[in-house]
């Protein structure tokens, strides 16, 4: 091929490659949107139950979730496709996205809570009407697979969303108290683990481990590690510049945790953080026959200590009974020595 022909082909390809290059750079270069806060939830408000991810096969969890929300003082609305099923998903992608869009549009709905996690939330992200959400900001909460939706909505709209118990979660006094303080009372909360000792001489549960001491400020981003790492490179990936990253996981072998953290590292996310808070990594062990595996402690040391930012583990969020409510996008201050997170302003208006 002649030099002239190569130049002509390269010039012809430039208009085609330019949009692709712009898309590839969008998650990093796009400026942050102004922060939008949802109106605080009040007794008597209507909370809609949606199911953006996995199906629930029994009837009882729906009734228990509705009864729990009523006990908290809310009225309950089921999204039209809440009980749908398509394989292991709670309906088709179109059905699940339609419920999210419809509940944000509905003026009678004041808050939106996911029924459960599972998988499939990432599939609906391109079908969400983010402009509609920006025009009708509301409380949106969930955790686990809802990591995809709450981070995508925050990134695309600026709306503060909530990593919090879901409809099918256990509604104990601890979890209710933190949800109420964040989403109803609008308090500038200080999230700190309790120091229960039971009959032991020192506390054995809910212990904080400081990997690197210090304090840091920044917007909260994060959630489930597997879901977050699967979003890498997309326009729904959170902005990590100066952020406080919080992570949790469940039922993953340690080598998979290592691989997911490698994805965050290779994407450049870890190198732009102000601090890291690690929650529960429930049932994350070496797996059968993996005699030579690294421990979770060693994996965390490898990825987080070289960042030279404050890091602590043991915060109460994730796949555990007692959960903090974490507002995604809200500016917070972390103290890795004390093991605390402090809201710098209310999460709701």
319 is catalytic: yes
Same domain? For 227 and 266 the reply is: yes
For the chain, the domain total comes to 2
What pLDDT, in 10s, does the model give residues 152-172?
999 999 999 999 999 999 999
248 is catalytic: yes
Q: Which domain holds residue 80?
A: 46-171
Whether the predicted pLDDT of 201 surpasses 90: no
Whether the predicted pLDDT of 221 surpasses 50: yes
Say what the pLDDT of residue 29 is.
52
Same domain? For 162 and 62 the reply is: yes
Residue 16: pLDDT band with limits 50, 70, 90: very low
Choosing from 68, 248, 252, 313, the catalytic residue is 248
Please report, rounded to a whole number, the percentage of residues in the chain having pLDDT higher than 70.
91
Reduced 3-state DSSP string for the chain: CCHHHHHHHHHHHHHHHHHHHHHHHHHHHCCCCCCECCCCCCCCCEEEEECCCECCCCCHHHHHHHHHHHHCCCEEEECCCCCCCECCECCCHHHHHHHHHHHHHCCCCCEEEECCCCCCHHHHHHHCCHHHHHHCCCEEEECHHHHHHHHHHHHHHCECEEECCCCCCCCCHHHHHHHHHHHHCCCCCEEECCCCCCCCCCCCCCCCEEEECCEEEEEEEEEEHHHHHHCCCCCCCCCCCCCEEEEEEECCCHHHHHHHHHHHHHCCCHHHCCEEEEEEEECCCCCCCCCCCCCHHHHHHHHHHHHCCCEEECCCCCCCCCCCCEEECCEEEEECCCCEEEECCCCCC
Choosing from 53, 68, 110, 144, the catalytic residue is 144
Final residue in a domain of this structure, among 171, 202, 229: 171
* Domain membership flag for residue 80: yes
Whether the predicted pLDDT of 286 surpasses 80: yes
144 is catalytic: yes
* Domain membership flag for residue 82: yes
Indicate which CATH number applies to the domain containing 120. Answer: 3.40.50.10740
* Domain membership flag for residue 178: no
């Amino acid at each position: 091929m002649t030099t002239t022909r190569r130049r002509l082909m390269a010039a012809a390809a430039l208009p085609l490659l330019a949009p692709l290059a712009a898309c590839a750079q969008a998650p990093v270069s796009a400026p942050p949107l102004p922060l939008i806060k949802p109106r605080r939830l009040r007794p008597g408000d209507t909370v809609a139950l949606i199911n953006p991810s996995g199906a629930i096969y029994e009837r009882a969890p729906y009734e228990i979730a509705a009864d729990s929300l009523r006990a908290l003082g809310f009225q309950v609305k089921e999204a039209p496709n809440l009980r749908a099923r398509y394989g292991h998903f709670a309906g088709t992608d179109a059905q699940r996205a339609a419920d999210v869009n419809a509940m944000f549009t509905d003026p009678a709905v004041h808050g939106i809570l996911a029924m459960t996690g599972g998988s499939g939330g990432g599939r609906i992200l391109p079908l969400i009407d983010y402009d509609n959400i920006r025009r009708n900001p509301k409380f949106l909460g969930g955790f686990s697979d809802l990591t995809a939706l709450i981070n995508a909505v925050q990134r695309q709209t600026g709306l503060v969303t909530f990593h919090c118990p879901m409809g099918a979660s256990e509604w104990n006094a601890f979890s209710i108290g933190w949800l109420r303080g964040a989403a109803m009372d609008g308090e500038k909360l200080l999230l700190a683990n309790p120091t229960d000792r039971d009959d032991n001489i020192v506390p054995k549960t809910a212990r904080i481990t400081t990997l690197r001491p210090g304090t840091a400020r920044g917007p909260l981003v994060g959630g489930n590690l597997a879901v977050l790492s699967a979003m890498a490179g997309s326009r729904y990936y959170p902005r990590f510049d100066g952020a406080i990253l919080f992570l949790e996981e469940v039922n993953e072998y340690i080598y998979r945790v290592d691989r997911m953290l490698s994805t965050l590292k290779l994407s450049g996310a870890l190198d732009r953080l102000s601090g890291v808070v690690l929650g529960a990594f429930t049932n994350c062990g070496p797996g059968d026959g993996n005699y030579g595996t690294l421990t979770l402690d060693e994996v965390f040391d490898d990825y987080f200590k070289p960042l030279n930012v404050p890091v602590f583990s043991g915060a109460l969020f994730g796949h555990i009974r007692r959960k903090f409510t974490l507002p995604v996008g809200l500016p917070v201050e972390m103290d890795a020595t004390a093991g605390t997170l402090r809201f710098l302003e209310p999460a709701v208006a």
